[in-house]
Amino acid sequence: MDSYKESLIAGLEQLLADPKCFLLGEDIADPYGGAYTITKGMSAKFPGKIINTPMSEQGFTGLGVGMALAGYKPLIEIMFGDFSTLIMDMILNHASKFVEGFEKKLHLVVRDPMGGYRGYGATHSQSLEKLYVGLPNIAVVSPSVLHEPGELLVKSMELGVPVIFAENKLDYTRKMFKAEKIAYAFDIQYHVGDFPIAEVNFPDEEAEVTIVSYGGLISPLLQTLYDLYMEEEVAVRLLDISSLSPMDFDLLEDLLKDSQKVLTVEEGHIPFGIGDTIISQMVQRGLKAEFKTIGASQHIIGTSKEAEALALPQMEDIKNVVLNW
């Protein structure tokens, strides 16, 4: 697929072809087709399988948990990832406990559109995926322009545990990176399994700095890496993680073992972010490198561009860290 949205739609339609799969959420049926028009036309294509719900995230997520217990494969769409706070009880205190307590696989995926940079304000712009990271029997998956969202979505449904599928709102309008004009400049390799880590390098170049990131920041980071190389002749390596939890720290250690400087970048607030966890694990494994982390600052995310810039990480700041490190 050339676009992120096309890939995601293809994955949804593949899942909905299964008689046991249903999609639940607010305003997802026609004519609206969801806040980002991802499901537009699907209620005609899959009659009775696209279920409009009341505006009660906890309620319809609980319905999804019950469906999964009964052997169905519900897809839950949360309109804004900020509202994933409202479903925490259903996912953490019910679904994840049933997996182990009842020794039963639950096929349940929650699509959670995260992220800012759109002027949506303090309660519609956050990246809260870290709230679910590191908890038993809960997976957190983060597609990007390097990881086909449709393929990851289908694989997520087969995990047998509740999955927070942390999409990024800006990615809905983006091409997959392989379709971008600058893709020719990079060598991209995928390491291990259904939820791989993508490694991006400039061919025949040694990178002093490795950036570790995921999700919606991957697209602007790739452009930033290209600009640094073309304008400053500085090669930077990028690792894009698709499974935030569980995270393959052994693979990360292997990929980072020769790195001199490691910079983690995330859209969520720091400290106590995903980057901090990665750095902690690498240090505990004895990795010898310099580490830095960039993420959202300790401000709420305002509506204006100026207010957003005060809170959210900016590519210019990342450039400056790389050039002055």
pLDDT tens for 241-268 read: 999 999 999 999 999 999 999 999 999 9
Q: Where in the chain is the domain with CATH 3.40.50.920?
A: 177-324
The CATH T-level fold of domain 177-324 is Rossmann fold (3.40.50)
How are strands ordered across the β-sheet holding 187-191?
Answer: 187-191, 197-201, 236-241, 209-213, 261-269, 290-296
Read off the pLDDT of each residue in 223-232 and give the average, rounded to a whole number.
98
Read off the pLDDT of each residue in 71-91 and give the average, rounded to a whole number.
97
Q: Where in the chain is the domain with CATH 3.40.50.970?
A: 4-173
pTM value is 0.97
The CATH T-level fold of domain 4-173 is Rossmann fold (3.40.50)
Q: Are strands 139-141 and 243-245 parallel, antiparallel or unpaired?
A: antiparallel
Query: Would the pLDDT of 33 be above 90?
Result: yes
pLDDT band at 98 (very low <50, low <70, confident <90, very high): very high
pLDDT band at 323 (very low <50, low <70, confident <90, very high): very high
pLDDT at site 1: 80
DSSP 251-291: HHHHHHTT-SEEEEEEEEESSSSHHHHHHHHHHHTT--SEE
- Please tell me which residue, 1 or 173, carries the higher pLDDT value: 173
pLDDT tens for 297-316 read: 999 999 999 999 999 999 99
Average pLDDT, the chain: 97
pLDDT tens for 133-144 read: 999 999 999 999
Query: Would the pLDDT of 238 be above 90?
Result: yes
pLDDT band at 293 (very low <50, low <70, confident <90, very high): very high
275, 295 Cβ separation under 8 angstroms: yes
pLDDT at site 105: 96
